[in-house]
Amino acid sequence: MKAINRYGLLKAIAFMVLVISLFSCSACDDEPNPPVILTKAIAVIRPATNVKLNSATIVATITPNEDDTKVSFETKETSTSVWEAHILPTTFSGKDTLKVTFDFPALKAGTSYDFRIRVINKGGEAVSDINSFETYAVTDYDGNMYHTVTIGNQIWLKENFKGTHFSNGDPIPNVTDQAAWNKMTTPAYCWYNNDSKNSKVYGGLYNFYVVSDSRGLLIGYHAPSLNEWIILSDYLGGANIAGGKMKESGYSHWIQPNAGATNSSGFTSLPGGVHKDTFGNLGDASVFWSTTKFMNMPNAASSVDIGETSAFLQLNGGNDSNRGFSVRMVKN
């Protein structure tokens, strides 16, 4: 009887070992593989570059984070709601951040555009923030490009004129000698402090004989009369506040306090200074020519100016015709 029990016990133990072994192998075979984590690509849009009248280059950076990431630039006119997709023919892979560009041709001059970038891979889809740019509206004889802004029924350049030729290609003399400048009775221009670097932001300084010349400076545009300045001022609420609505806000170019500056009109007046007996007022005054003689005086003309201490737009100031002021153009 005892022998039988021992045999039965050994048989039971063997069965239990077999079951445990089978269970262990089954558990081993059924253990799942580690999960594969798919990561979306990262897309960051950058400001547009090489913006011209009818074209621009859109720039972005992407981090694929997965093989075969598709990239699509999406664009639209700001005034519309329909996006147009421009899918790049090449896919991107790897974990390094890459710069991608898209040359956006056949644009409308003087038009605002929105753009963004969309990336798609196995991890999903990601869309960047929206950025914007505005194409230039017009170019002068020298190739300088200008934006425009509509204020009431007038269309103004948003930048000071910086050309060195009349619209027909005749050169405007660049006079750098102070004594010679003071004697001018014919067209002349200079850069502030005779430094061409200043022209990139503030444009040039021109005497009255330039803006009153019949050859004109920009096809389709003209230097404004005093009455056209008054129309602008009245539309903006009158001279007491018009200057503030015309001045670029902040202190990137204006010195403090730049009082009342909102630039709500979009005119973006910059303090380009003046050339009288010397150079002065860079950073604290915008002075623009009109084409109107001052009180019928033969060697004086009306100008308008805005200072840093108030929102006032001074109209009908009289100045000697050989002084150098900024020039803004208005559309014919």
Residue 24: predicted pLDDT: 52
For residues 296 and 302, what is the distance between their CA atoms, to the nearest angstrom? 10
The pLDDT score that the predictor gives to residue 317 is 80
Do 119 and 70 meet the contact criterion of CB atoms below 8 Å apart?
yes
Percentage of the chain modeled with pLDDT above 90 = 78
Helix (H, G, I), strand (E, B) or coil at 156: strand
185 sits in the region (left: phi over 0; alpha: psi -120 to 50; else beta) called: alpha
CA distance 193 to 203: 12
Q: What is the pLDDT of residues 87-138, one digit of tens each?
A: 999 999 988 998 999 998 889 999 999 999 999 998 899 999 999 999 999 9
Residue 26 has pLDDT above 50, yes or no: no
**Is the model's pLDDT at 8 over the cut of 80?**
no
| pLDDT bucket at 67, cuts 50 / 70 / 90 | confident
For 231-284, give the DSSP string.
HHHHHTT-HHHHHHHHBPPSSSSSPTT-TT---TTS--B--EEEESSSEEEETT
Q: Where are the domains of the chain?
A: 42-134, 140-331
Closest by alpha carbon to 127, among 37, 40, 38?
40
User: Whole-angstrom Cα distance, residue 21 to residue 41?
Assistant: 46
Token pair listed for 38? 């798919």
The Cβ of residue 312 has, within 10 Å, a number of other Cβ atoms equal to 18
Mean pLDDT of 45-56: 94
Number of Cβ within 10 Å of residue 127's Cβ equals 14
Q: What is the pLDDT of residues 231-281, one digit of tens each?
A: 999 999 999 999 999 999 999 999 999 999 999 999 999 999 999 999 999
CATH of domain 42-134: 2.60.40.10
Enter the tokens of residue 149.
């802004």
Phi then psi for 230, rounded to 5 degrees? -65, -40
In b/e form, how buried is each residue of 136-149, taking b as 16+ CB within 10 angstroms? bbbbbbeebebbbb
Q: Can you read off the two tokens belonging to residue 245?
A: 């609505």
Calculated CA dihedral for residues 154, 214, 306, 278, nearest 10 degrees: 160
Q: Which residues pair with 62 in a beta bridge?
A: 43, 98
CB 78 within 8 Å of CB 120? no
Tell whether pTM > 0.95. no
Amino acid, single-letter form, for residue 51:
V
Residue pLDDT, tens place only, 136-153: 999 999 999 999 999 999
Contacts with 36 (C-beta within 8 Å, 6 or more apart), sequence order: none
Write down the mean pLDDT value for the chain.
90
The CB density around residue 98, as the number of other CB atoms within 10 Å, is: 15
Query: From CA 174, how far away is CA 236, in angstroms rounded?
Result: 35
Q: Return the DSSP state at 84.
A: E
